[in-house]
Amino acid sequence: MRVAVIGLGYVGLPLAAAVAATGANVIGIEIDAEKVKAVNAGQSPLRGQEPGLADLVGEQVSKGRLRASLDPKEASGVDAVAVCVETPIDPTTHDPSYKALKAALAGVAPLLKRGALVSIESTLAPGTMEGVVRPALERGSKRTVGRDLYLVHCPERLTTGKLLHHLTELPRVLGANDEASMRKGVAFYERFVKAEIHATDWTTAEVVKTAENAYWDVQIAFANEVALISEELGVDAFRVRDLVNTCPYRMMLSPGAGVGGHCIPKDPWLLVSPAVQSKPELIPTAREVNDFMPRRMARIVEEALAASGRKIKGARVAVLGFTYRENTDDTRNSPAKIVIQELRRRGAEIAIHDPFARSERGYAVLRDVNAATKGADCVAIVTAHDEYRKLDLKALLRRMRHPAFVDGRDVYAGPDLVKMGFVYRGIGKGQF
């Protein structure tokens, strides 16, 4: 079987490697030359902890079953195509922005042979399969879906840090609008998915995927709102959470310094984007609550500095963690960027540390935590990387100019740090 995977990012790369491991001949089509170069050298372009991924990529490339290319024509005549490009939203209007999706479809459609299967793994606003994907493929291939071309939507569910595990172990929802596409789609996914494959139609699959992430966003917003209330009342939101969860059927999540990544901040908008009559309110409000958290984090830094006798203007703040998620290299929509912007706006000087993230324009990332915290007036944990759970706190206190410590991810127990001499504050932490 010959398979093309379009887009070798967090979704496409593990998929390409996992499909190659089933014995298929896989060509990965990418527009990023660095990723193509890395994959063809047998390396994963992703940093962070991705158990098994780099080894699997190396193995499949050396066996000659996985290759990457910048040239979409190399996907000519394949048996199956999986589209895994990004599907962001417009930051101002929150409408879906399908530039990458449309480019990928336009590139591959004329190359599709009779009977080829196309699976859209990218997350889509409900109605996109029918309104955008099907017409683009039929127009470009001059074929008809369900007759000589087969089309499914199988949204990916994986999370960074567990890409390969999730890819093969999580149940999948597979949307098809005709029986032949469904049969072909199930046969393709059964090659590597060990869990159940749930059959449905395109639109239901689109709603399910975006609702999964909107659900998570609303749950996080609930925890964050309880954290804001707890801070005002001077109680510990994490203790509140533990006690709430002693009540049957309550599973309150943890609050934190913000939500990021490619998916959670935009999928709720994809879900509500086609809704006109139902006028969604809860889901957009949850987005607002979660978007507020990095700004709250910056405010807490200012409060902690004030409590240590330091004005924020000119203060040195060491921001620990630049990625949105612990132990990964993923900085997309990271709340750390908002925290940093807010602190800079208030006149603070920022040193950013992260064990995995690369530097970006305006955000120079240091690898050495000692260098980042030397002479700091405040240390602010924004991402719960494992490295930050093992800080030498006594040495840290000696290195700092003022002892303000702000915990955005419940990494440390406040009373312990206060006993050591820190001025401790945190998201959901009440008073110390």
Q: Which residues are catalytic?
A: 209, 263
**CB under 8 Å, gap of 24 or more: what pairs does 281-286 form?**
282/218, 283/214, 283/217, 283/218, 285/221, 286/214, 286/217, 286/218, 286/220, 286/221, 286/222
The answer to whether 404 and 308 have CB atoms below 8 angstroms apart is yes
User: What are the angstrom distances between the C-alpha of 109 and each of 8, 75, 186, 432?
Assistant: 18, 10, 22, 61
Residue 86 sits in the site that holds ligand NAD (CB under 6 A): yes
Residue 28 sits in the site that holds ligand NAD (CB under 6 A): no
Q: Tell me how many residues contact ligand NAD (CB under 6 A).
A: 30
Q: What is the DSSP letter of 347?
A: T
- Residue closer to ligand NAD, measured from CB, 208 or 319: 208
- Single residue of 160, 273, 290, 383 touching ligand NAD by CB under 6 A: 160
Cα-Cα end-to-end distance for the chain: 62
- Single residue of 29, 118, 208, 391 touching ligand NAD by CB under 6 A: 29
- Residue closer to ligand NAD, measured from CB, 152 or 396: 152
- Chain-centroid distance of CA 311 in Å reads 35
Residue 304 sits in the site that holds ligand NAD (CB under 6 A): no
- Chain-centroid distance of CA 221 in Å reads 17
Binding segment (CB under 6 A) for ligand NAD, from list 31-39, 218-226, 312-320, 389-397: 31-39
Distance CA 182, CA 166 (A): 22
User: What are the angstrom distances between the C-alpha of 391 and each of 90, 93, 196, 385?
Assistant: 39, 42, 42, 11
Residue 224 sits in the site that holds ligand NAD (CB under 6 A): no
Distance CA 172, CA 162 (A): 16
Binding segment (CB under 6 A) for ligand NAD, from list 74-82, 97-105, 307-315, 410-418: 97-105
The answer to whether 202 and 210 have CB atoms below 8 angstroms apart is no
Binding mask 256-275 for ligand NAD (x = CB under 6 A): ------xx------------
| Nearest residue to the partner ligand NAD, using Cβ | 9
- Single residue of 68, 118, 156, 424 touching ligand NAD by CB under 6 A: 156
Binding segment (CB under 6 A) for ligand NAD, from list 24-32, 280-288, 372-380, 403-411: 24-32
- Rounded to the nearest 5°, which phi and psi values hold at 217? -65, -40
Per the document, the length of the chain is 432
Closest CA to 6 of 34, 45, 36: 36
Residue 10 sits in the site that holds ligand NAD (CB under 6 A): yes
What is the nearest approach in angstroms of ligand NAD to the Cβ of residue 302?
33
Residue 170 sits in the site that holds ligand NAD (CB under 6 A): no
Residue 35 sits in the site that holds ligand NAD (CB under 6 A): yes
Give residues 122-141 in contact with ligand NAD (rule: CB under 6 A). Answer: 122-123
Residue 9 sits in the site that holds ligand NAD (CB under 6 A): yes
Residues that bind ligand NAD (CB under 6 A): 6-12, 29-32, 35, 84-87, 100, 103-104, 107, 121-123, 156-160, 262-263
